[in-house]
């Protein structure tokens, strides 16, 4: 059992200073804490600080590993790589997806060939998850001519929010009067309802309904379309995401 602790010997080694020793001695005198309790609190405090240090070191190690993995994938795919955005995404800063500012983008891969530009980038989620990143794929093609619209998977919570705030949303909600299934699976928003409904042909809506399990989110404007699943994609899965981008591009170009 610990009955007495020599703080002058113990604390300089643990917390590094005589002022800390005096502080704890004062606390013991004022609150009459036993030495064993103060000793336990000091050990707990040091353990918490050490755990925080390990956490941040692990975080930076993971970020470094992800950066190296993206660089390797970029070389394999023939894409250019930037660890941070240097203005590439600025033309798309008006997209709702980039509401936190394009400067927060990380691990940007891009390539352009045959009139099609494709880009993969990590970007923070919105709302309470602003520090949690997810992976976005952008496609720009001279074959696209889309109105501005936003598509999000419908959930019970989002349906309740739509009922409460739907009429005051910055981008109005749109429904297809002849496609109840699509309306139940996705929330569609756009400024020009007629143009958006025309762009989302029956073939496009059927494709999106088939993808419901993957929880795709889409946003488009003009020649650019982006999509994501609100998840952080592993670098080795980038080819799958790029393949999906071409499939989506073909679907939106069908019957045009």
Q: What was the pLDDT predicted at 44?
A: 73
Point out the least confidently predicted range of 35-44, 80-89, 121-130, 173-182: 35-44
Q: Decide if 1 is inside a domain.
A: no
Q: Residues 244-255: pLDDT tens digits?
A: 999 999 999 875
Same domain for 220 and 94: yes
Q: Residues 24-68: pLDDT tens digits?
A: 566 565 555 566 666 666 677 776 765 665 444 444 444 458 899
Are the beta carbons of 176 and 243 closer than 8 angstroms?
A: no
Same domain for 35 and 147: no
* pTM exceeds cut of 0.85: no
Q: Report how far apart, in Å, the C-alpha atoms of 150 and of each of 2, 75, 97, 106, 147 are.
A: 64, 32, 9, 23, 10
Average pLDDT, the chain: 81
Domains of the chain: total: 2
Q: Decide if 112 is inside a domain.
A: yes
Same domain for 106 and 43: no
Same domain for 89 and 27: no
Same domain for 53 and 86: no
197: containing domain: 80-253
Are the beta carbons of 147 and 191 closer than 8 angstroms?
A: yes
Q: Residues 69-118: pLDDT tens digits?
A: 999 999 999 999 999 988 999 999 999 999 888 888 999 999 999 899 99
Are the beta carbons of 165 and 126 closer than 8 angstroms?
A: no
Same domain for 57 and 88: no
What percent of the chain is predicted at pLDDT more than 70? Answer: 71
Q: What was the pLDDT predicted at 160?
A: 75
Q: Decide if 141 is inside a domain.
A: yes
Strand ranges for 146-207 from DSSP E: 146-153, 173-174, 186-190
Same domain for 118 and 44: no
Q: Decide if 221 is inside a domain.
A: yes
Same domain for 47 and 84: no
Q: Decide if 67 is inside a domain.
A: no
């Amino acid at each position: 059992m610990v009955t007495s602790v020599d703080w002058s010997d113990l604390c300089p080694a643990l917390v590094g200073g005589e002022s800390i020793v005096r502080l704890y001695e004062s606390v013991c005198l004022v609150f009459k804490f036993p030495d064993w309790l103060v000793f336990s609190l000091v050990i707990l405090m040091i353990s918490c600080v050490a755990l925080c240090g390990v956490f941040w070191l692990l975080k930076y190690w993971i970020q470094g590993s992800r950066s190296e993995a993206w660089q390797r994938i970029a070389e394999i795919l023939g894409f250019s790589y930037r660890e941070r955005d240097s203005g590439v995404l600025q033309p798309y800063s008006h997209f709702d997806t980039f509401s936190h500012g394009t400067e927060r983008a990380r691990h940007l891969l891009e390539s352009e060939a045959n009139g099609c530009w494709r880009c993969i980038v990590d970007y923070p989620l919105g709302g309470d998850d602003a520090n949690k990143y997810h992976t976005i794929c952008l496609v720009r093609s001279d074959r696209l001519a889309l109105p501005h619209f936003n598509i999000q998977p419908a959930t019970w919570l989002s349906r309740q929010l739509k009922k409460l705030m739907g009429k005051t949303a910055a981008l109005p909600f749109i429904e297809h009067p002849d496609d109840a299934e699509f309306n139940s699976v996705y929330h569609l928003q756009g400024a020009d309802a007629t143009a958006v409904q025309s762009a989302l042909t029956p073939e496009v809506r059927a494709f999106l309904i088939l993808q419901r399990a993957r929880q795709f989110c889409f946003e488009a404007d003009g020649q650019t379309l982006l999509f994501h699943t609100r998840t952080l994609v592993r670098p080795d899965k980038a080819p799958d995401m790029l393949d999906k981008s071409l499939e989506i591009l073909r679907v939106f170009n069908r019957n045009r």
